[in-house]
Amino acid sequence: VMPIIEAAAKENHANLVRDGIESEVVTRVPAVGGQVATLRTPNGTYTEVPIAKFGEHQAHNALAALCAAEVVIPVNGALDGDIVAEALSTVKIPGRIEQIRTSPTIILDGGHNVNAAESLRAAIEENYDFQQLVGVVAMMADKQVEEYLGVLEPLLSQVVVTENSWRDRVMPAEDLKKIAERVFGPERVTCVPELPDAIQEAVNMVDADDELGVGYGHGVLICGSFTTAGDARLMLEEKVNPDLKKPKAERVFQEAVEPEPRKQEDEADIDFESDANPDFDINDFGSVGPDDDVDSADGTGDADETAGSGNVESDAETSMNA
């Protein structure tokens, strides 16, 4: 690919900026909520830049964005360092190694190929110290499912296989179970076809081993597709059950009730009044369908589907999902 890019740059009299040659991630240190990096571009060096995303790959993504900004913003030399820091410290990519809950820790990731799985695993190993991490996985049938699961196998203590709302493309849970059992062994795999129930099962597994009820070292990873991440993100919105941010011991118990069917989509924006549920009962949440709106999951130009906002997934993947 690089010879083609080099030829195109020469033909169009364009400067070629390559990661590791004309530009570089000089240093990188994990920090709360992301990382701090020193980035070198053709126009200058930016020191101690806060990047509000986990993972080494996100530092390189930030470098690429910074190099592009230097080209399109009409200034001579380097950009204002304070503006660069403010911009990169506020970048959000919903559904990409996104922690949305504590007690227990719940992480969403929409990556769906081997490279994305490798980046996910590296970021979690670098930034978390899980004693137990339960995976909730739903994937599209046309992906490298076994290879993807193989990358995550050392990371996950157990896996709950399920399905997301894109019924035409998602791999049936029973088929996914067979593949997962080859990777993890039957004793580490549970099949729960409905995603809300699968999330509940994973949280129950984590709570059962969390004797102190503080959530530290125990977590749930919901992954395999941006549709999966988007569905889960919609279910776990804070407005549906704000008490979920509290430690389990501080939540107020109430019996789960079946939600009333929604009469119109606008009702999804109405805040729920709730005393909360100490056992994180997924039945407190509304159902998810393919027409539900959620935030864009990646914002990177990725050809995959976005987090619940559309069903357009392909094998094309930009470096933001690497």
Task: Give me the CATH number covering residue 11.
Answer: 3.40.1190.10
d(CA 26, CA 19): 11
pLDDT exceeds 70 at position 236? yes
What percentage of the chain exceeds 70 in pLDDT?
71
283 shares its domain with 313: yes
- Clarify whether residues 224 and 126 are in a common domain: yes
Bridge partners (DSSP) of residue 62 are: none
- Report angle CA 24, 30, 31 to the nearest 5 degrees: 125
Q: Assess whether pLDDT exceeds 80 at residue 259.
A: no
287 vs 254, residue with greater confidence: 287
List CB contacts of 282: < 8 A, sequence separation 6 or more.
Answer: 196, 197, 199, 200, 203, 235
Number of domains in the chain: 2
> Would you say residue 14 has pLDDT above 60?
yes
In which domain, by residue range, is 34 found?
2-89
Domain's final residue, options 69, 89, 109: 89
pLDDT surpassing 60 at residue 285: no
Q: Are 313 and 225 in contact (CB under 8 A)?
A: yes
Q: How many residues does the chain have?
A: 322
Is 36 in contact with 50 (CB distance < 8 Å)? yes
Of 62, 89, 116, the position where a domain reaches its end is 89
pLDDT digits (tens, 9 = 90+) for 23-36: 999 999 999 889 99
pTM of the model: 0.69
Q: What is the pLDDT of residue 154?
A: 97
User: Do 78 and 193 belong to one domain?
Assistant: no
Among residues 89, 112, 144, which one ends one of the domains?
A: 89
Q: Verify that 165 and 44 share a domain, yes or no.
A: no
Which pLDDT tens digit goes with each residue over 153-186?
Answer: 999 999 999 999 999 999 999 999 999 999 999 9
Q: Identify any residues that bridge with 191 across adjacent strands, giving them in sequence order.
A: 161
Same domain, 138 and 287: yes
